[in-house]
Structure 1
Amino acid sequence: MKAIVVAANGFEDIELSYPYYRLIEEGIEAYIATPGSKEIVGKNNSTYEPDLGINEIETEEYALMVLPGGKSPEHLRIESKDLIRYIKEFNENNKLISAICHGPQLLISADILEDRNATCYWSIKDDLENAGANFLDKRVVVDKNIITSRYPDDLPKFMEKTIDKLVD
């Protein structure tokens, strides 16, 4: 089973590292994709070398896409139309998408939240609701194939729900 973690510069460091390493601990092949296959730097200066570029993602190969927060989603929604298309493909094929903090900005751009329950970082709550989602102020919200979470403090529960749903 394979998972892809997608991020750009300015990602929230722990929101990339925690899911990535939890997936590996569970025996899931985890890969990092970035714009242009270039090294990325987080808000707190951690760096990651990607396994592939976003434009190289083959959606049929992956069972899960993880979208960390920070400033990364804002950059990706503007710079990577490929990623928006891949998110739509994941959703159309009922594949698992897990987004935390500002990660749901990408779900908004992919226009897949209409009539769905979701949560996010408080500063994008209005955006989520304007996209047609039902905002729930909970640590983790699971709505069919979409899992969302609010903050780094929610990571343990976020990944517990993600892994449970993935191996279910």
Structure 2
Amino acid sequence: HEVHLVGTLGEKVYSSAAGLKMMSSLGSGDINPEDYDGIIIPGGFSPDFMRRSEATKNLVRKLDEAGKPIAAICHGPWLLASSIDLKGRKVTSFMSIQDDLKHAGADWQDEEVVVDGNLITSRTPADLPAFMKAFIKVLG
């Protein structure tokens, strides 16, 4: 598998809270979901900005409709709640957004990693080993 850093805009430098800077190679509106095997949605507060992008929400929606793996950690499930139908789907997240996910109809669980079909979710960076192991297993 080839990995691309996709942002709401292409060729833009994004900075983390810890000061890590990364440049997106593509914007979410520039890619064809059929060309991708899955997606990992980061945590932190980036998903709050990502869910304001129609192109990003459409990308997640199309990947979900195709049954492709969608992994979201920490605050990442915010984007899921804005993009896809979570009614009855099992998820986890950082605890502060659990109410948002429950209001979106999700079955929120306080677990290290939750896999429900093509959705893989985790709570915090401490869960990264289990999160990535589950994503790789679902990705195949």
TM-score w.r.t. length of structure 1: 0.81
CA shift at 1:51, angstroms? Answer: 1.5
Partners of 1:73 and 1:105 within 8 A in 2: yes
* In 2: Cα distance, 1:127 partner to 1:95 partner: 24
Instruction: Tell me, yes or no, if structure 1 residue 34 matches structure 2 residue 7.
Output: yes
Residue number among 91, 94, 97 corresponding to 1:124 in the alignment: 97
**8 Å contact 1:111–1:131 — kept in the other structure?**
no
Q: How large is the Cα RMSD of the aligned pairs?
A: 0.8
**Contact 1:140–1:149 under 8 Å retained in 2:** yes
Q: CA deviation at 1:114?
A: 0.9
Alignment-mate amino acid for residue 114 of structure 2: V
Secondary structure of residue in 2 paired with 1:115: coil
Name the TM-score, length of structure 2 as normaliser. Answer: 0.96
Map of 2:56 onto structure 1: 83
Unaligned runs of 5+ in 2: none
Instruction: Report the CA distance between 1:53 and its aligned residue.
Output: 1.3
> Within the alignment, does 1:94 sit opposite 2:67 as a pair?
yes
1:10 corresponds in structure 2 to none
Aligned residues between the structures: 139
Which has the larger helix fraction?
1
Q: CA deviation at 1:70?
A: 0.5
Q: Which residue of 2 aligns with 1:68?
A: 42
Superposed CA deviations along residues 21-78 of structure 1, whole A, max 9, x for unmatched, are: xxxxxxx211001122111111111011111112112100101111001110001112
State the identity as a percent. 40
Q: Residue 136 in 1 paired to residue 109 in 2? A: yes
Residue by residue over 1:109-134, the C-alpha shift from the partner in whole angstroms, topping out at 9 and shown as x without a partner, is 01321110000000000001000000
2:6 partner SS: strand
Aligned partner of 1:43 in structure 2 is 17
* SS state at 2:4 partner: strand
User: Distance between the aligned counterparts of 1:108 and 1:67, measured in 2?
Assistant: 12
